[in-house]
């Protein structure tokens, strides 16, 4: 057997041994190195299939050569896998999850009003958002560069003023006015009501969606056999708690913080606004919600 074929044989046997006992169910998987260091955290609807794809990809050969053991953590469904993956990456900071490795500082664009009544945007880099202060936020961005690019785009598509949006510094009419791409709001030539209506329209797609319930909700995700599952307690886009259940046994999985997390928001919004998931969401009274929270705090 040639050295190349021998290497491939050993590689396949090693991958097979690592993958053999992984479950064919939703959840997350953790790759550990020989010294016990956490290399990578991923998620999938079918853990074994997804892990096998890592070891079959030439682009991931460098990572897979370092994997000494794999820890699966099963969830009832995809929602639980997505939320658990996001939480573990933030808490454990795996070496290969480069994009999500550090707690993300996002750039928020808050709506402000000029002294002449025109809407504008103030950019601010923050690490977390108070749920009570979401309403004036027009958009969220990964970087200031991305924010500036978006503002430059809506200047063109919605005839907004680059001077009012902080893209130009001048005491006179903005350059877009001379190109007939701005109605002159920067010098008061356009009524604020007309300008502000276009401003709101420009940010409609990027705004954080309003919480569609009067209070908190309980989301239940059942496992494949129907006897096991996971329950998520969510209020105003904040994941407060999640717990698993099996044969009348309950186990706390996530003890969340009452703060807005953008990654969790995207996961939860995608789930909540999907009509196929409506039967899993139950709105509860404030009293029932608070009673459940007290029980979980005492657990």
Q: Beta strand pairing status for 119-126 and 106-113?
A: antiparallel
Whole-angstrom Cα distance, residue 166 to residue 249?
Answer: 56
From residue 176, give the alpha-carbon distance in Å to each of 155, 158, 247.
Answer: 9, 12, 66
From residue 14, give the alpha-carbon distance in Å to each of 22, 51, 176, 281.
Answer: 14, 13, 62, 43
User: Helices 47-56 and 3-19 sit at what angle, rounded to 10 degrees?
Assistant: 160
Token pair recorded at residue 143: 């970087």
Q: Which domains, ranges and CATH numbers included, belong to the chain?
A: 3-100 (3.40.1440.10), 106-202 (no CATH), 217-298 (no CATH)
The whole-number pLDDT of residue 35 equals: 93
User: Helices 262-272 and 78-92 sit at what angle, rounded to 10 degrees?
Assistant: 180
Closest by CA position to 159, among listed 109, 207, 194: 194
The whole-number pLDDT of residue 14 equals: 62
Token pair recorded at residue 6: 């021998």
Each of the 299 residues of the chain gets a pLDDT tens digit; together they read: 344 443 343 344 566 778 888 999 999 999 999 999 999 999 999 999 999 999 999 999 899 999 999 999 999 999 999 999 998 998 899 999 875 555 567 889 999 999 999 999 999 988 777 766 676 888 888 889 999 999 999 999 999 999 999 999 988 999 999 999 999 999 999 999 999 999 999 998 888 888 899 888 999 998 877 678 899 999 988 888 888 887 667 777 777 666 778 888 889 999 999 999 999 999 988 888 888 777 776 66
Q: Is 15 exposed, middle or buried (0-12, 13-18, 19+ CB in 10 A)?
A: middle
Chain centroid to Cα 264, Å, comes to: 4
Tell me the average pLDDT of the chain: 86
Question: What does the DSSP 8-state code read for residue 276?
Answer: G
201: helix, strand or coil: helix
The whole-number pLDDT of residue 168 equals: 93
Q: Are 269 and 237 in contact (CB under 8 A)?
A: yes
Contacts of 87 (CB under 8 A, 6+ apart): 254
At residue 132, what are phi and psi to the nearest 5 degrees? Answer: -75, -15
In sequence order, which ranges of 93-179 are alpha helices (DSSP H)?
Answer: 144-157, 175-178
Given its phi and psi angles, is residue 36 left (phi above 0), alpha (psi -120 to 50 degrees) or beta?
left
Chain centroid to Cα 260, Å, comes to: 10
pLDDT tens figures, 37-47: 999 999 999 99
Q: Is 218 exposed, middle or buried (0-12, 13-18, 19+ CB in 10 A)?
A: middle
Whole-angstrom Cα distance, residue 63 to residue 265?
Answer: 30
Chain centroid to Cα 180, Å, comes to: 39
Q: Are 83 and 232 in contact (CB under 8 A)?
A: yes
Number of Cβ atoms within 10 Å of the Cβ of 292: 18
């Amino acid at each position: 057997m040639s050295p190349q074929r021998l290497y491939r044989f050993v590689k396949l046997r090693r991958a097979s041994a690592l993958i053999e006992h992984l479950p064919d169910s939703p959840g997350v998987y953790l790759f550990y190195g020989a010294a016990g260091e956490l290399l990578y955290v991923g998620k999938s609807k079918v853990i074994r299939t997804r892990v096998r794809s890592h070891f079959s990809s030439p682009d991931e050969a460098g990572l897979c050569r370092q994997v000494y053991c794999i820890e699966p953590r099963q969830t009832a469904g995809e929602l639980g896998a997505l939320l658990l993956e996001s939480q573990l990456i933030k808490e454990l900071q795996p070496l290969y999850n480069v994009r999500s490795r550090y707690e993300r500082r996002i750039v928020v664009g808050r709506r402000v009003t000029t002294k002449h009544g025109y809407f504008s945007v103030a950019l601010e880099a923050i690490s977390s958002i108070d749920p009570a202060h979401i309403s004036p936020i027009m958009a969220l961005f990964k970087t200031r560069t991305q924010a500036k690019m978006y503002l430059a785009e809506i200047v063109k598509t919605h005839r907004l003023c680059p001077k009012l949006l902080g893209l130009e510094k001048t005491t006179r009419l903005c350059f877009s006015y001379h190109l007939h791409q701005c109605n002159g709001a920067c010098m008061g030539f356009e009524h604020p009501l007309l300008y502000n209506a276009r401003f709101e329209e420009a940010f409609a797609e990027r705004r954080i969606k309003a919480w569609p319930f009067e209070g908190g909700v309980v989301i239940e995700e059942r496992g494949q056999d129907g006897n096991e599952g996971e329950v998520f307690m969510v209020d105003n886009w904040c994941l407060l708690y999640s717990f698993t259940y099996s044969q009348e046994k309950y186990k706390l999985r996530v003890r969340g913080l009452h703060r807005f997390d953008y990654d969790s928001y995207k996961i939860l919004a995608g789930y909540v606004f999907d009509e196929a998931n409506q039967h899993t969401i139950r709105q509860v009274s404030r009293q029932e919600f608070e009673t459940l929270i007290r029980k979980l705090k005492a657990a």
